[in-house]
Amino acid sequence: MELTLGFSPCPNDTFIFDALVNNRMETNGLQFDTRLEDVETLNQWAMQGKLHITKLSFAAGLKVADQYRLLNSGSALGRGCGPLLIAREQVAPSRVKDLTIAIPGENTTANLLFNIAYPGAVNKKIMLFSEIENAVLSGEADAGVIIHENRFTYQQKGLVKITDLGEYWEQQTGQPIPLGGIFIRKDVPEEIQQQVDRLIHQSLQQAFAAYPTLSPYVKAHAQEMDEHVMRQHIDLYVNEFSLDLGEEGRTAIEKLKTMVA
């Protein structure tokens, strides 16, 4: 059986799926047609039910709960790993509502966490996450919400942090930050859903066993990133929640649901 599978080219996702999609483990007859895309593209595709299995922002996952269910393995949750609101110079939080904010997609958890922290800020520009730093530097946006590896590079470009949106979430809720997860379409047979969940878990276990060695697959999709940043990325976003959401992870996701209800 062949299933379409979408995830981002970021190191945390390629690290998790490497063994699974590159035939380095037994898949018991399952084959995967992979699509590597920015997470906001995957979020938008999910609204159409385009892929069988897909990485989604949890904010988008809430919107497609009628079509997709969350798998136990492959998620990105944690502490100290949330999106950051950055600018060219320090800005008082009370002024944020008056600024033009670049965001990495309307359906991203980053945008949702920004809305929770700054409900009055509505002047937004939707951009590819990798373009936000330069948009802020050029003045195209007054500030921006950054995710992924930009968390490790914004200071090198002379930008400053206004708010750690993940830290705000943790202070308000006491919960780890639910960023994104792996979702499977509900019309996939239940036994296949369970098999896919186990395979993702096994693929990640295999990646952890070889770490800190980075595979050619991870490197190939992070061409503009040095290996130190790749490992920072993996260390921040891949953890015990990625192997198994557990009670704490599921509680954090349920809290997110209540915050947007």
Q: Nearest CA to 55 among 111, 104, 109, 7?
A: 7
Selected catalytic residue, list 52, 148, 201, 233: 148
The structural domains of the chain, ordered by start, are 2-78+178-260 (3.40.190.10), 84-173 (3.40.190.10)
pLDDT tens per residue, range 122-170: 999 999 988 999 999 999 999 999 998 888 889 999 999 999 999 999 9
Would the CA dihedral through 178, 78, 35, 205 be positive or negative?
Answer: negative
Partner residues linked to 54 by β-bridges? 6, 183
Rounded to whole angstroms, how far apart are CA atoms 38 and 35?
Answer: 10
Say what the pLDDT of residue 94 is. 92
Annotated binding site: 55-57, 109-110
Whether 148 is catalytic:
yes
Q: Which residues of the chain have pLDDT under 70?
A: 261
Instruction: Tell me the whole-structure pTM to 2 decimals.
Output: 0.94
Annotated binding site for substrate: 55-57, 109-110
User: DSSP 3-state assignment of 240?
Assistant: helix
Number of other CB atoms surrounding residue 134 within 10 Å: 14
Say what the pLDDT of residue 153 is. 87
Say what the pLDDT of residue 261 is. 66
Say what the pLDDT of residue 224 is. 76
